[in-house]
Amino acid sequence: MSYPKSSVLSLLVGMIVLTGCNSPSTDSVSEGNEAQTATTPVSSESLELLDITVSILPQEYFVEKIGGDRVEVNVMVQPGESPATYEPKPQQLKDLSEAEAYVRIGVPFENAWMNKIQSANAQMLVIDSAQGIERLEMAAHHHHDEDHAEEAADHDHEEEHEHEEKHEHAEGTLDPHIWLSPQRVKIQAQNIYQGLVTIDPENEATYQANLTQFLGEIDQLDQQIKQNLVGVENREFIVFHPAWGYFAQDYDLEQVPIEIGGQEPSAAELGELIQQAKTENIQVIFAQPEFSTKSAETIANEIAGEVLFITPLASNWSDNLLQVSQTFADVLNQNGGGN
């Protein structure tokens, strides 16, 4: 039996309308997809960033290299502040209640504050990034102790003894600046990796891949620094704060500090440093933005030299070390020019 074309057309339109009424709307499909995505293992909990707190800016660089886009890093010591004298702000201690981990490195303020840091969040994992690293002693002045003792023999023996004890304690302090040695940073990176895997085992493969890449970048940086320092004959430099001991050891340099244990040099020690700078034809004295430059400027004025700033606390760790190595190369070649 045949039907008029108009009847067939009406029937088709009716079927389409009915089908449309029984189908979900576009909005419902989107909501349904969003709801489905929200229940899959990739979202919700696994997309939530890990809240990691560190002490200093270079550690932020390390954690972000290994954690990638899985971490959100908070830094205690901000630019311009010193980890030797820093005191955490009340809000920072409060924010620790949300942290999954705290990465310690061994800077001085941690020794005084670690108990309060840990008590701010008992569930927070403390990652010791310095574990497995052998510490050096802080650099000391190379002054003539015997000559000083002979001159002061008839003066005040008790006061002299007190000074010697205080100086010996300063010399025995372990150097916390392990982040300035690329080879030691490789150990720190391993420790950070282990910590991240502990709190987020589901993403171990990601952290492992990031770690492998970062270790390769460190080796490349190490070679670039060595290349920068090739041919530098005068390996000695004077610096106010002795932060560069590990760097100096890695690259066969000699660091001569102005201050020891946070104490400015005595007049006699300052005189010796001036004489040493003249003898070695040192024309540049290095200083750090976070510390006083008074003593460095005094020496520079006496030798008709200049004060140059370098920082161990830059946020871009790799670029900073590369730049510092080039600065050392330029300055040390200049220093040795008159020998």
- Residue 207 included in any domain: yes
Distance CA 287, CA 297 (A): 9
Residues 210 and 297 reside in one and the same domain: no
Pick from 203, 220, 237: which residue ends a domain? 220
Q: Which helix (H) or strand (E) holds 241?
A: none
- Residue 29 included in any domain: no
- Residue 172 included in any domain: no
Q: What is the pLDDT of residue 260?
A: 83
The CATH number of residue 238's host domain is 3.40.50.1980
Burial of 263 (0-12, 13-18, 19+ CB in 10 A): exposed
Structure tokens at 132: 């497995």
- Residue 106 included in any domain: yes
Q: Does residue 242 contact residue 255 with C-beta atoms inside 8 Å?
A: yes
What one-letter code names the amino acid at 288?
Q
Residues 235 and 331 reside in one and the same domain: yes
**266: DSSP letter:** P
- 3-state secondary structure (DSSP) of residue 168: helix
Residues 198 and 114 reside in one and the same domain: yes
Q: What is the pLDDT of residue 46?
A: 52
Most distant CA pair in the chain: distance in Å? 135
Q: What is the pLDDT of residue 23?
A: 41
Sheet holding 284-287, edge to edge: 254-257, 236-239, 284-287, 306-309
- Residue 275 included in any domain: yes
Distance CA 192, CA 190 (A): 5
Residues 268 and 125 reside in one and the same domain: no
Pick from 220, 248, 276: which residue ends a domain? 220
Residues 202 and 242 reside in one and the same domain: no
- 3-state secondary structure (DSSP) of residue 303: coil
Helix, strand counts (H, E) of the chain: 13, 8
pTM for the whole structure = 0.78
Residues 70 and 189 reside in one and the same domain: yes
The list of the chain residues with pLDDT below 70 reads 1-46, 141-172, 336-339
Residues 280 and 262 reside in one and the same domain: yes
Strands 236-239 and 125-128: unpaired
Distance CA 249, CA 184 (A): 11
- Residue 323 included in any domain: yes
Residues 187 and 54 reside in one and the same domain: yes
Helix/strand/coil (H/E/C) assignment for every residue in 16-41: HHHHHHHCCCHHHHHHHHHHHHHHCC
Distance CA 251, CA 324 (A): 12
Pick from 220, 253, 283: which residue ends a domain? 220
Residues 322 and 234 reside in one and the same domain: yes
Closest residue by Cα to residue 298 from 312, 287, 288? 287
Q: What is the pLDDT of residue 334?
A: 82
- The Cα-based distances of 173 to 223, 241, 266 in angstroms read 30, 14, 19
Q: What range does the domain containing 320 cover?
A: 229-338
Q: What is the pLDDT of residue 330?
A: 96
Burial of 189 (0-12, 13-18, 19+ CB in 10 A): buried
Residues 207 and 305 reside in one and the same domain: no
Distance CA 194, CA 227 (A): 32
pLDDT digits (tens, 9 = 90+) for 53-73: 999 999 999 999 999 999 999
Q: What is the pLDDT of residue 141?
A: 61
**293: DSSP letter:** -
Domain count, the chain: 2
Residues 191 and 259 reside in one and the same domain: no
Q: Does residue 218 contact residue 224 with C-beta atoms inside 8 Å?
A: no
- Residue 248 included in any domain: yes
Residues 216 and 238 reside in one and the same domain: no
Adjacent-strand bridge partners of 130: none
